[in-house]
């Protein structure tokens, strides 16, 4: 098959938006999907002006019927799906104690179950064609815990485990599974995040910690990598016959993962507090300072 068909979820902005454009500019017929089609004007306009092979469609990963309708229509038109980019997701902010079960359930419904729901729908056609690539938008916080982001972090940890396991299951069918782990990326992530209601109350015992983490991340977003850098990693995975299992994106992601691998749990926790929570204690490791 010479043509290649890609589906990208969460394409209205940020990483999904840039990924849809990049795949289309590199030979893919792209179905840029999103929950809210009222946000599709920008990508439609660029696709029209550049004459890119992009079709915009509605897909809400939390809805079984929406996923069924969208994927079935694409399969009927194309007869194949070569790449699925599971990008749709959002951040839930707040310490674990102040998250309601419903808030946490909604986070997992999008970030984990939504990914699995969409993946399960494309697998029969990939298996029939004996090839395909599933690219999942994880995060550096799929490997490293972050305070006051317990819900989001746990959804990404779960995604990592799910997809690492599925790699073994799908490899015999020629289907590759990839995890992309960005650090801080300049998107509207913070503005689109949902805050636990209790965490917003003045009486929250975690208020100082929440402010400290928020200030730290706001500063890091100013120096974060651009979404197009993540799109480049996705393109590399989508076009490789033997893609890596994981792609980290951003200097912060690379350095943090490197530190996590080299340090004991106790040393890494101290390192994290120093660098991300502003604690003054210097961590001594093998005669040096970090």
Backbone phi and psi for residue 250, each to the nearest 5 degrees, phi listed first = 105, 140
Res 192: pLDDT: 77
Computed over every residue of the chain, the mean pLDDT equals 91
Res 108: pLDDT: 98
Res 216: pLDDT: 74
Residue 284 has pLDDT above 70, yes or no: no
Q: Is the dihedral of CA 162, 165, 167, 173 positive or negative?
A: negative
For the chain, percent of residues with pLDDT exceeding 70? 95
Residue 283 has pLDDT above 50, yes or no: no
Integer Cα distance of 15 and 223 in angstroms: 16
pLDDT in tens, 180-203: 999 988 887 767 789 889 888 889
In a domain, 190, yes or no: yes
Q: Decide: helix, strand or coil at residue 190.
A: helix
pLDDT in tens, 116-126: 999 999 999 99
Res 279: pLDDT: 56
Residue 285 has pLDDT above 60, yes or no: no
List the structure tokens of 43: 């990508």
Give the dihedral of Cα atoms 57, 58, 63, 68; nearest 10 deg.
-30
Res 278: pLDDT: 66
Res 218: pLDDT: 72
Backbone phi and psi for residue 84, each to the nearest 5 degrees, phi listed first = -120, 125
Do 256 and 183 contact (CB within 8 A), yes or no? yes
For the chain, percent of residues with pLDDT exceeding 90? 76
Containing structural domain, residue 199: 4-206+225-249
pLDDT in tens, 166-185: 999 999 999 999 999 999 88
pLDDT in tens, 83-95: 999 999 999 999 9
In a domain, 278, yes or no: no
Res 173: pLDDT: 98
Residue predicted with more confidence, 55 or 257: 55
CATH number of the domain encompassing residue 243: 3.40.50.720
Do 283 and 274 contact (CB within 8 A), yes or no? yes
Angle at CA of residue 22, ends 21 and 28, nearest 5°:
90
Average pLDDT over residues 141-164: 96
Beta bridge partners of 246: 179
Residue predicted with more confidence, 221 or 256: 256
In a domain, 78, yes or no: yes
| pLDDT confidence tier of residue 275, bands split at 50, 70 and 90 | confident
In a domain, 265, yes or no: no
Integer Cα distance of 153 and 139 in angstroms: 9
- Provide the number of structural domains found in the chain: 1
By DSSP bridging, strand 175-182 and strand 194-195 are unpaired
In a domain, 212, yes or no: no
Q: Is 152 annotated in the active site?
A: yes
| pLDDT confidence tier of residue 274, bands split at 50, 70 and 90 | confident
Q: In what order do the strands lie in the sheet with 132-137?
A: 54-58, 28-34, 4-8, 83-86, 132-137, 175-182, 246-249
Catalytically annotated residue among 31, 152, 206, 247: 152
In a domain, 41, yes or no: yes
Residue 96 has pLDDT above 90, yes or no: yes
In a domain, 84, yes or no: yes
pLDDT in tens, 23-64: 999 999 999 999 999 999 999 999 999 999 999 999 999 999
In a domain, 282, yes or no: no
List the structure tokens of 269: 């926790």
């Amino acid at each position: 098959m010479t043509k290649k068909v890609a589906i990208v979820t969460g394409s209205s902005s940020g990483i999904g938006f840039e990924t849809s454009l990049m795949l289309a500019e590199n030979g893919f017929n792209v179905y840029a999907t999103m929950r809210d089609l009222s946000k599709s004007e920008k990508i439609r306009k660029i696709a029209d002006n550049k004459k890119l092979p992009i079709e915009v469609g509605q897909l809400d990963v939390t809805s079984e019927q929406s996923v069924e309708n969208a994927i079935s229509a694409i399969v009927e038109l194309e007869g194949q799906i070569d790449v699925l980019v599971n990008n749709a997701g959002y951040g839930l902010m707040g310490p674990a104690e102040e998250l309601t079960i419903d808030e946490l359930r909604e986070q997992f419904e999008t970030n984990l179950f939504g990914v699995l729901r969409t993946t399960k729908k494309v697998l029969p056609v990939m298996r029939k064609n004996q090839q395909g690539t599933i690219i999942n938008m994880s995060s550096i916080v799929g490997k490293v815990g972050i305070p006051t982001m317990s819900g989001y972090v746990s959804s990404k940890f779960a995604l990592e485990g799910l997809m690492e396991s599925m790699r073994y299951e799908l490899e015999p069918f020629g289907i590759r599974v990839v995890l992309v782990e960005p650090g801080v990326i300049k998107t509207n992530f913070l503005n689109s995040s949902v805050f636990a209601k209790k965490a917003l109350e003045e009486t929250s015992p975690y208020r100082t910690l929440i402010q400290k983490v928020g200030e730290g991340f706001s500063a890091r977003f100013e120096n974060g990598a651009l979404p197009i850098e993540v799109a480049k990693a996705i393109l590399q995975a989508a076009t490789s016959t033997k893609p890596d299992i994981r792609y980290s994106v951003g200097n912060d992601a690379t350095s943090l993962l490197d530190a996590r691998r080299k340090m004991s749990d106790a040393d890494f926790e101290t390192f994290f507090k120093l660098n991300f929570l502003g604690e003054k204690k210097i961590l001594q490791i093998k005669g040096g300072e970090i």
